[in-house]
């Protein structure tokens, strides 16, 4: 905390008269955020880098459009005031004759008679990056609660058996948050993979995913995946197989991914593409 406060105090004095783009670039460099994203090397990190590049372009455009204008505030203060006051919802047309599409964060504070929360799958909500951190899971659970409580009269929660992510096909399993909803409050429609447990609490039938995962595992057992082979993971990207561990449903692979480093994954859940 002390080093963080020192950094903020130092930047505050350095950037008082800086142009917005220069100030943002210096913060990104001094904080180490750019280096951290670059080292992460995931599609999500690349998306964040693209967003930061767009932010820099926007700051440069703002400075050019407001050159020579002064109201007693620095260019940086003017830019921050503008971006703090403007959001997508400021220009949104929330009408009754159309569907409003928004993120959970954007929906905070709003209410609608009918709400659809989509993508309630493991790896989406909760996000895959949060799956191993209890604190991150709690934050994801809170976001799910925010999304659900936007509904005034009717709430629909959906998940997809199959979808395309990052250019490849993946097979989903229902979000753990669905199992936490009292079954008496839920009417299940069109979800054959979500079955009711004997103790009257929601449970999941993973046979849909396992039938497909078994094919991937079988391919590995039959020589489909071997040491040195190039594969592609929907999240980690391309990599080379270092080791094939075991056989059958629990078979695992150690893979050195080009950008994400060495990972150990279970074949049946990996949705790998060969080549």
Q: Which residues contact 183 (CB under 8 A, 6 or more apart)?
A: 196, 200, 201, 202
274 — pLDDT class (breaks 50, 70, 90):
confident
145 — pLDDT class (breaks 50, 70, 90):
very high
Q: Is the pLDDT of residue 159 over 50?
A: yes
Dihedrals phi, psi of 254, to nearest 5 degrees: -100, 120
pLDDT reported for residue 217: 40
pLDDT reported for residue 215: 36
271 — pLDDT class (breaks 50, 70, 90):
confident
Q: Which residues contact 124 (CB under 8 A, 6 or more apart)?
A: 172, 175
Greatest Cα-to-Cα distance within the chain, rounded to the nearest angstrom: 73
Q: What's the whole-number mean pLDDT along residues 158-184?
A: 81
185, 188, 189, 193 alpha-carbon torsion, rounded to 10°: 160
Q: Which residues contact 269 (CB under 8 A, 6 or more apart)?
A: 209, 213
Strand partners, 264: 254
Q: Is the pLDDT of residue 166 over 70?
A: no
pLDDT digit string (tens) for 51-96?
Answer: 888 888 888 888 887 777 766 778 888 887 777 655 555 556 667 7
Q: Which residues of 1-36 are buried (b: 16+ CB within 10 A; e: fewer)?
A: eeeeeeeeeebeeebeebbbbbbbbebbeeeeebee
- Could you count the other beta carbons within 10 Å of the beta carbon of residue 204? 19
* Residue tagged 């959906």 (tokens): 158
pLDDT digit string (tens) for 184-236?
Answer: 888 888 655 444 333 333 333 333 233 333 334 444 444 467 888 888 887 77
What's this model's pTM, rounded to 2 decimal places? 0.42
Q: Is the pLDDT of residue 42 over 70?
A: yes
> Checking DSSP bridges between strand 261-266 and strand 252-257, what pairing results, if any?
antiparallel
C-alpha triplet 60, 64, 70: angle, nearest 5°: 115
Q: What's the whole-number mean pLDDT along residues 92-109?
A: 79
- Could you count the other beta carbons within 10 Å of the beta carbon of residue 199? 6
Report the distance separating Cα 130 and Cα 169, nearest Å.
21
Highest mean pLDDT among 2-6, 214-218, 266-270: 2-6
Question: 28 or 78: whose pLDDT is higher?
Answer: 28
Picking from 105, 236, 107, the residue whose alpha carbon sits closest to that of residue 166 is 236
Q: Is the pLDDT of residue 102 over 50?
A: yes
152 — pLDDT class (breaks 50, 70, 90):
very high
Lowest mean pLDDT among 55-64, 85-94, 156-165, 259-268: 85-94
Q: What's the whole-number mean pLDDT along residues 93-109?
A: 80
């Amino acid at each position: 905390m002390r080093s963080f406060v020192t950094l903020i105090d130092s930047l505050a004095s350095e950037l008082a008269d800086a142009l917005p783009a220069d100030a943002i670039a210096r913060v990104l460099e001094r904080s180490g955020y750019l280096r951290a994203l670059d080292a992460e090397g995931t599609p999500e990190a690349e998306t964040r880098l693209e967003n930061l590049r767009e932010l820099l372009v926007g700051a440069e455009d703002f400075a050019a459009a407001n050159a020579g204008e002064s109201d007693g505030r620095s260019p940086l203060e003017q830019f921050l005031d503008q971006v703090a006051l403007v959001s997508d919802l400021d220009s949104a047309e929330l009408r009754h004759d159309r569907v409003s599409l928004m993120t959970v964060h954007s929906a905070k504070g709003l209410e609608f008679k009918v709400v659809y929360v989509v993508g309630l799958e493991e790896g989406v909500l909760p996000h895959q990056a949060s799956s191993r951190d209890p604190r991150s899971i709690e934050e994801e659970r809170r976001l799910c609660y925010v999304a659900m409580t936007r509904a005034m009269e009717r709430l629909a929660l959906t998940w997809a058996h199959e979808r395309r992510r990052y250019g490849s096909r993946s097979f989903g399993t229902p979000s753990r948050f669905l199992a936490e909803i009292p079954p008496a409050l839920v009417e299940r429609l069109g979800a054959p993979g979500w079955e009711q447990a004997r103790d009257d609490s929601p449970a999941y039938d993973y046979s849909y995913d396992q039938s497909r995962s078994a094919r991937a595992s079988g391919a590995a057992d039959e020589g489909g995946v071997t040491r040195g082979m190039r594969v592609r993971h929907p999240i980690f990207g391309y990599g080379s197989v270092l080791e094939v561990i075991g056989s059958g449903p629990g078979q695992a692979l150690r893979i050195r991914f080009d950008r994400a480093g060495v990972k150990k994954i279970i074949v049946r859940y990996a949705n790998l593409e060969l080549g």
